[in-house]
Structure 1
Amino acid sequence: MFTDQQKIGAMLSAIGLFFGFLGVLLFLDRGLLALGNILLVSGIFLILGFNKTLNFFGQRKKIRGTILFFLGIIVLLATRWTFVGMLVELFGFVNLFGDAFPIIISILRKLPIIGNILNHPIVNKVLQKADSGNELPF
């Protein structure tokens, strides 16, 4: 089903997301955020392969997200403006991977504890509003 390279890429991406989350929890720790970004991008590269990765990041409709995502990583690595870099990177991340959010939410709704939270009427209303208008409800 998956090659060994794709399994390693999935694990690198998961560890990268974990380090990014941990970096945010520890008040935007620059080292953890940088490590998380590097692991995430390398994991995506291993999952998709060289040509598909270039095609994904080079799509015409996703070019703004690509530029902002990598600009945020560069700002995070090269300057002391961690918060600004994270905001730019987060905006690029949402533009790049925003098409996958409804799929991720539908998978998360099937999980035991998270599914109960996401299926709560208030949370469900917010998620439906965000999904229908492709914009944040607040």
Structure 2
Amino acid sequence: MWLTDTQKIGVGLTAFGVLFMLLGVMLFFDGGLLAIGNILFIGGLTLIIGLSKTIAFFARPEKMRGTICFLGGVCLVFARWAVVGIVVEAIGFVNLFGDFFPVVIGFLRKMPVIGSVLNTPGISHVIDKLMGSKLPV
């Protein structure tokens, strides 16, 4: 599958958004970095999957609690309540994207260095317990 130029820009924006959010957390919840990270993450996600699919993803009835928590956390970060906003945003993120975690773990297990770490007996057992058997294939 080939990515269009718009999707490539979206991947870059999403990666920079995650980087800015990590930096914001590491620098004691710096509100400016967290706000920039949120804007880049949401913008990148929109460029990757398109505006209509992004709205459809966030507006699904079964994911409404996650959407409210995620967007509420973003609003709290913008209102300078960075610590509370990130916690609420993390809860929403897990509710929204939690279905993708087993797929991501399955992909990471096939990577050269990370896969060998994740497949060690102790770590593998913990990850299997946390993820369950939700892999689609």
The whole-number CA distance in structure 2 between the counterparts of 1:133 and 1:76 is 35
Q: What stretches of structure 1 of length at least 5 have no aligned partner?
A: none
TM-score, normalization: structure 1?
0.90
Q: Which amino acid aligns with 2:112?
A: P
Is residue 2:42 matched to residue 1:19?
no
Residues in 1 aligned to 2:125 and 2:83: alpha-carbon distance in whole angstroms: 30
1:117 aligns with 2:133: no
CA distance in 2, matches of 1:91, 1:113: 29
Q: Which runs of 5+ in 2 are unaligned?
A: none
Give CA-to-partner distance per residue, 1:37-69, whole Å, 9 cap, x none: 100000011111111111100111111101100
* CA distance in structure 1 between the aligned counterparts of 2:114 and 2:54, rounded to whole angstroms: 31
Tell me the alpha carbon deviations over residues 22-51 of structure 1, each in whole angstroms, 9 at most, x when there is no partner.
Answer: 111222121111111100000011111111
Q: Distance in 1 between matches of 2:110 and 2:87?
A: 30
Using the TM superposition, name which of 6-15 and 111-120 deviates more.
111-120
Tell me the secondary structure at the aligned position of residue 110 of structure 2. coil
Counterpart amino acid of residue 109 in structure 1? R
Q: Which residue of 1 aligns with 2:62?
A: 61
Write the distance in 2 (CA, Å) between the matches of 1:65 and 1:120: 33
Residues in 1 aligned to 2:130 and 2:110: alpha-carbon distance in whole angstroms:
19
After TM superposition, the score normalised by the length of structure 2 is: 0.91
Q: 1 CA distance for matches of 2:45 and 2:10?
A: 6
- Partner Cα distance (1:39, 1:62) in 2: 22
Shift of 1:113: 2.1
SS of the equivalent of 1:28 reads: coil
Could you say what the CA RMSD is over the residues aligned between the two structures, in angstroms? Answer: 1.4
Q: Which runs of 4+ in 1 moved over 6 A?
A: none
- Quote the residue 2:89 is aligned against: 89
- Of all paired residues, the percent bearing the same amino acid is 50
2:128: which partner in 1? 128
Structure-2 change in CA distance of 1:7 and 1:74 (3 Å): same
Structure 2 CA distance for aligned equivalents of residues 122 and 110 of structure 1 = 17
Amino acid at match of 2:21: G
Task: State how far apart, in whole Å, the 2-side matches of 1:108 and 1:18 are.
Answer: 19
**1:2 partner SS:** coil
